Amino acid sequence: MITAEIKPIEEILEIIEPYDKIILAGCKECVAVCAAGGEKEVQFLASALRTARKSNGREVEIREVTLQRQCDPEYVEQIRDFAGDYQAILSIACGVGVQYMAEHYTIPAVPGLNTAFMGGAVQQGVWSEKCQGCGNCVLHLTGGICPITRCSKSLLNGPCGGSSNGKCEVNPEIECGWQLIIDRLKLLGEFESRYAELFPIKDWSTSRDGGLRKIVREDLKQ
């Protein structure tokens, strides 16, 4: 899932300072799971913004909505009937959601979150990065552990000379991604057959070619 964190309330207040009527739009998908932009967060943030603005002698009118997704035009269109009555949209979805709001409406769309990474839950209240969306997945070669994400240097052949006792030279609290891969391959009985292989230099054009990446499924197009 895409993870995100709420911006400091002071920063949000500064962002919405020009506006007296805003739509505060949450999202029921990824950012709701990581407790950053779901329905409860919409309610909490709206209350905090109203209180802060009132204490400064300038109240703000906030319409609270929580869409199923903000990365889908079908759901973004659900605020069409009243969007024109407001001065701005404060989106607490990921950066994709903010941009979809901006594309669909002629009022400013501004972010209330800082989008972090694609990851998963480690424990209650803790999420960890797992994928950078590099566009050429090699997990079948590395025991299901991503070298692009888990290695601090994104090395395709490792470990580097800075690895020591299974830890990364960048930070002794970071596990060496390639040591994790080695241990996993040994567990799977694939170390002898896999580890001696040299990966070619990554063709980053599969993930970044200077333009917007797209996935097109002709069988699903209408």
Under DSSP, is residue 63 helix (H, G, I), strand (E, B) or coil?
strand
Range of the structural domain that residue 106 is part of: 2-117
Tell whether 11 and 86 lie within a shared domain: yes
Domains in the chain, number: 2
Instruction: Please check the confidence at residue 212 and state whether its pLDDT lies above 70.
Output: no
Tell whether 13 and 53 lie within a shared domain: yes
Q: Is residue 162 part of a domain?
A: yes
pLDDT recorded at residue 211: 64
Tell whether 6 and 113 lie within a shared domain: yes
Residues 93-122: tens digit of each pLDDT: 999 999 999 999 999 999 999 999 999 999
Q: Is residue 211 part of a domain?
A: no
Tell whether 109 and 142 lie within a shared domain: no
Tell whether 7 and 69 lie within a shared domain: yes
Confidence of residue 151 (pLDDT cuts 50, 70, 90): very high
pLDDT recorded at residue 199: 85
Residues 16-46: tens digit of each pLDDT: 999 999 999 999 999 999 999 999 999 999 9
Token pair 């941009």 is found at 99
Q: Where among 90, 117, 144 does a domain terminate?
A: 117
d(CA 95, CA 17): 20
What's the pTM? Answer: 0.88
Residue 77 has phi, psi (to 5 degrees) of -70, -10
Copy the structure tokens of residue 207: 């993930």
Token pair 């990065």 is found at 129
Mean model confidence pLDDT for the chain: 93
Q: Which segments of 56-94 does DSSP mark as H helices, in order?
A: 73-76, 80-83
CATH of the domain at 11: 3.40.50.2300
